[in-house]
Amino acid sequence: MSYLDELAAQIEREVPAEMLPDHDTTLLFRLYALLLLAKGAAVTAPDVHNAWAIWMQESDPGHHAIKPFEELDPAAQASDKPFVAAIKWVADRDSCLSALPDAGSRFAVEWLAWVLPGKAHRCCWPTAFRPDCA
């Protein structure tokens, strides 16, 4: 498994199952991994939509939502939010964990984040869910 596939899998795990497309999403999540590497937590809904449009163009080039993000209706725009949040979550977590001094500290923070939601170090929570972060 490549580093891109590892990032893609991490992002996919953060997306609610009911939001996942029915098609093969391997390329889609690799594109999301590329966004994570290129933009990190600065990724936007238009970025995610553009990656989705590239992926969708391969399977359904005439899909009604293959157009610029700004031309989508509000419901279609909102459908990108869980993917943006997932990318930001992985970017924030990786940033936080890489700042810790050793693997034991990183493991402890990840474990606390899983066992005690809301109690772990605040930098390990996605910016999309922290009220003090815009």
**Residue 98 resides in a domain:** yes
Q: Pick 46 or 106 by higher pLDDT.
A: 46
Q: How many CB atoms lie within 10 A of CB 52?
A: 21
Q: 25-57: per-residue pLDDT in tens?
A: 999 999 999 999 999 999 999 999 999 999 999
What lies within 8 Å, CB to CB, of 39 at 6+ separation is 47
Domain assignment present for 65: yes
Q: How far apart are CA 41 and CA 98, in angstroms?
A: 15
14: phi then psi, degrees, rounded to nearest 5 = -90, -5
In a domain, 134, yes or no: no
Residue 102 lies in a domain: yes
Provide the pLDDT confidence category of residue 121 given band limits of 50, 70 and 90. very low
What total number of domains does the chain contain?
A: 1
- Which structural domain, as residue segments, surrounds residue 30? 3-129
Residue 76, classified by CB atoms within 10 Å of its CB into exposed (0-12), middle (13-18) or buried (19+), is middle
